[in-house]
Amino acid sequence: MNDKTIGTAVITGASAGLGKIYADRLAKRGFDLVLVARSHDKLESLASSLRKEYGVAVRTLTADLSSDADVSKVVADITADDSVTLLVNNAGASTLGSVFDLSAAKLEEMNRVNVTALVRLSHAILPKFKARDNGTLVNIGSVLGFFTMPISSVYSGTKGYVAGFTKGLQQEVADSKVVVQLVLPSATATEIWEKSGVPVTALDPASVMTAENCVDAALAGLDLGEKVTLPSIEDAELYAAFEAAAMALFSASSGTPASRYGVTKG
């Protein structure tokens, strides 16, 4: 995939972790890039190395996605660029801990970065993709979007939103050639662990995937046409069964209270 007509990929959280690997892999495939992150110096360093190694055009956009003004700046930039054909909503914030111990600022940051920014950027770019019947949106969620621990209630809540939102978008573009992929990584060796308050060294090494393997698996899933990619799950039927159970639960709803409540009146 080295045809330069494939366009420009926008990657948020591009200065480190999964975003940095996505930037490398997509540049290798021939995409020009728009790299978005808070750290100007890291972005410029990465952009320089990618231009040199792959000969692609790379722009940087320094932005803090917990800031409404900066999100608006990114929205304006990517909607004005008609070359954009791929958006990877990778930026994320994570502070693990009991909701009773987390500051209001940390709660707000996770919601603003993980949910609000992702939704606004998806909302901005999808109409352009739909209008030309071409484009790919990749939203990075987490397996913690459907599994919650006592220290992950807020983070899991944000990733649960990402999962539900993205699956809804998939249905909205089902009649087009627009692709929407939901990626659900398990524990991955990125800087987000240190920032979360739980160092990656506290985890079983056998349960932690490298960032490189995670992105390569996610891109392989995209190439295979997967709507939902779980990079570390060997048995794909597990997720299919999860979705089937969710549909069965939804379909079992009725207008009558369950008999165990004893409240039904003739």
Can you tell me the distance from the alpha carbon of 167 to that of 28, in angstroms, rounded to the nearest whole number? Answer: 29
Q: How big is the chain by its Cα radius of gyration, in Å?
A: 20
Q: Residue 18 in 3-state DSSP?
A: helix
Q: Which residues are catalytic?
A: 155
Q: Which long-range CB contacts under 8 A does 69-76 form with residues at least 24 apart? A: 71/116, 71/117, 71/120, 71/121, 74/12, 74/36, 74/121, 75/120, 75/121, 75/124
Q: Cα–Cα distances in Å, from 253 out to 178, 249, 250, 257, 263? A: 32, 7, 6, 9, 16
Are 68 and 120 in contact, with CB atoms under 8 Å apart?
no
Are 95 and 110 in contact, with CB atoms under 8 Å apart?
yes
Can you tell me the distance from the alpha carbon of 196 to that of 208, in angstroms, rounded to the nearest whole number? Answer: 15
Backbone φ and ψ of 263, nearest 5°? -110, 0
Are 87 and 129 in contact, with CB atoms under 8 Å apart?
no
Are 155 and 112 in contact, with CB atoms under 8 Å apart?
no
For strands 136-140 and 179-183, give the pairing: parallel
Are 23 and 215 in contact, with CB atoms under 8 Å apart?
no
